[in-house]
Structure formats: structure tokens, C-alpha cells
Amino acid sequence: EVQLLESGGGLVQPGGSLRLSCAASGFTFSSYVMSWVRQAPGKGLEWVSAISGGGGSIYYADSVKGRFTISRDNSKNTLYLQMNSLRVEDKAVYYCAKHKISWRDGMDYWGQGTLVTVSS
């Protein structure tokens, strides 16, 4: 059974940093593109970042480029999102999501989400 379990969310002051983790199980982690998607309170879904199976290709939304860093440790089956220079508008539930084997076919498994609150 595929499982994705996010952790690392919490309350941080503007300008601060957090690192989110997503522990994956039930599939060959290194074979799949993984994404982070966020959802601000009461708002829609926003794709944040994606990383290829081997980690060699990385993509970001313009809203986080230069502040967030996606990475993965395939030996630990874990996806990460390092978030620096956090802004009030980064407050959201952050989901990690597994793409289908053809990454353009969408995200077929999602974690339960972890809440990041940015406030002074």
C-alpha cells in the first residue's frame, strides 16, 4: 500500500525557515517524480515544486523560486522541502504527492498534508 507521510510543519516567524519531510512507502520511490503542492486556508491548490526520480531535474513555481529547495534521499525514501525566507503568504497546508509512472499523467497518491503557519 502506498503511503506518504508529511512532517515538519509548524509556526514560524516571517523570515524564518522550516524543513518539511515526506516519508514514502509501498512503492519504488526512486522511480517516480514527486511534487509538493500547497493550499492556503480557504483557497485552491498551488503546485510548488517537483523533482525527478533521480533528483537531477528540479522545478519550482515562481512564487517560491530562490527561497525553497526541494530534494530527496532515495536511500531513505524521503522527500524534503527546505523553506527559507518564509512570508505570511506561504501559510498553507503542504502536501507531498507521487506522480504516476508517466509524470504527465498526474499525481495518484497524496499525503495527508502538514500545516505551515507564518506569523509574528
Name residues whose C-beta falls within 8 Å of residue 72's C-beta, 6 or more positions apart in sequence: 29, 34, 51, 55, 78, 79, 80
Contact segment (CB under 8 A) with another protein among 13-21, 66-74, 77-85, 102-110 equals 102-110
Can residue 114 be called a binding residue for another protein (CB under 8 A)? no
Q: What length does the chain have?
A: 120
Question: Where in 5-24 is the site for another protein (CB under 8 A)?
Answer: none
The residue within the footprint of another protein, chosen from 21, 61, 67, 69 (CB under 8 A), is 61
Using alpha carbons only, give the angle 57, 60, 61 rounded to the nearest 5 degrees.
Answer: 155
Can residue 46 be called a binding residue for another protein (CB under 8 A)? yes
Give dist(CA 32, CA 76) in Å, integer: 14
Can residue 74 be called a binding residue for another protein (CB under 8 A)? no
Residues near another protein (CB under 8 A) are 35, 37, 44-47, 50, 59, 61-62, 95, 100, 103-108, 110-113
